[in-house]
Amino acid sequence: MKKLLLCVLALLILAAGGVAGVLYHRATSPYRGYAGAAQVVAIPPGSGSRAIGERLIAAGVVPGKYAFEMALHLTGASRRLKAGTYRFDRPMAPVEVIDKIARGDVYVARITFPEGLTIREMAKIYAARGLGTTAAFEQAAANPAPIRTLDPDATDLEGYLFPETYPVQPGAPATALVDAMVARFRQVFDAGLRQDAEARGLSVRQVVTLASIVEKETANAEERPEVAAVYENRLRIGMALQCDPTVIYALEQAGRYTGALHHDDMSFDSPYNTYRYPGLPPGPIASPGLPSIEAALNPAPVDYLYFVSRHDGTHVFARTLAEHDRNVRKYQIEYFREKRASHPGR
């Protein structure tokens, strides 16, 4: 009887050892149970190890409950698992998966906003990257509180979402990204630039508004100070800015922009229509980059009042209306006449 019991015990030990060996192998062997190129798993704050394991198993990142539990035992990391979004793009052993989560090696996406975009345009990029909805981004950007100390008159964050590339953890609220963009603006528009603005008798809002106009008028860095000078000169003598981008902004806000400006648009009644209302518009019409901000604070020492596009990314400037009319005739009327002649029927 004793021999039988010893044999049974030995068999049980061998079986347990065999099971442990199998589990050890599964816990330390690379595994991939998802079909796509990568799998993203979101672990909510407060999740326990069991809930985390269930998510990883359902996502095909680890092979099963017991392999996960063995990996937890081998790593001793059951109390160190961190919430966040994790990306898996290769076969990984459960022990590697747990180590990744214990280290908090979260997946961070990157989103780039070029200069000269409005809140609405940024919201579309945000949604296109799959980071959230346009409505969530627009709602976050509608709150002026983050910029209130610099711009008490702000009604939203138009102009203050600094254009740059930002890291974003998928699943994070839109407010986190918007706050980071405003924080970056504050960092860029530092004490030195604020002193420059004060020395010119300009508020932060006025500087950013003028810079946003410069940003929309030209992508040529070298001529931005000249464009800024044109508008500063017009403001100084009380001449209407007559800036097309402000009209486009007004139409976009009203949902009436069709993609091209027409003569009737110039009479559209909006405080942003600088053909109808003199002075700067009520606020920024886009988010300017640093070069445009610097141009607004340091316009070129020229007496230009006009400019017109050469259709090559640059502009030709003029001091008088007569000179401007000649430029318009050459670079607009004759240009398009020659273009139509060389492409009949278009």
Please name the residues in contact with 323: beta carbons below 8 A apart, sequence gap of 6 or more: 306
Domain that holds residue 280: 201-298
pLDDT confidence of residue 16: 45
- Whether residue 184 sits in one domain with residue 119: yes
pTM strictly above 0.85: no
In terms of domains, do 144 and 171 share one? Answer: yes
Provide mean pLDDT across the span 138-145.
97
Residue 75 maps to a domain: yes
Domain end call among 157, 188, 219: 188
Output the pLDDT for position 15: 47
Q: Which of 66, 87, 107 is the last residue of a domain?
A: 107
Q: Kindly state whether residues 269 and 241 are assigned to the same domain.
A: yes
Q: What is the DSSP letter of 157?
A: -
Residue 69 lies in a domain: yes
Residue 11: pLDDT band with limits 50, 70, 90: very low
Residues, the chain: 346
Q: What mean pLDDT comes out for the span 114-119?
A: 97
Q: Is residue 159 within 8 Å of 286, Cβ to Cβ?
A: yes
Share of the chain above pLDDT 90, in %: 71
Mean pLDDT within 183-205: 96
Instruction: State the angle between helix axes of 49-58 and 65-75 in degrees (0 to 180), rounded to the nearest 10.
Output: 130
CA torsion, ordered 141, 143, 147, 150, to nearest 10 deg: 130
Same domain, 119 and 174: yes
Domain final position from 59, 86, 107:
107
Tell whether 98 and 155 lie within a shared domain.
no
The pLDDT score that the predictor gives to residue 344 is 60
Tokens of 179: 């706050």
Whether residues 241 and 208 fall in one domain:
yes
Tokens of 141: 């950007």
Question: Has residue 169 got a pLDDT over 90?
Answer: no
Residue 82 burial (CB count, 10 A): 17
Mean pLDDT for all residues in the chain:
90
User: Given this model, what pLDDT does residue 313 score?
Assistant: 86
Assign residue 334 the CATH number of its domain.
3.30.160
Over residues 329-338, the mean pLDDT reads 76
In the structure, what pLDDT confidence band is assigned to residue 25 with cuts at 50, 70 and 90? confident
The structure tokens 């607009």 sit at: 332
User: Does residue 255 fall inside a structural domain?
Assistant: yes
Contact predicate 315/309, CB 8 Å:
yes
On whether both 211 and 270 belong to a single domain, the answer is: yes
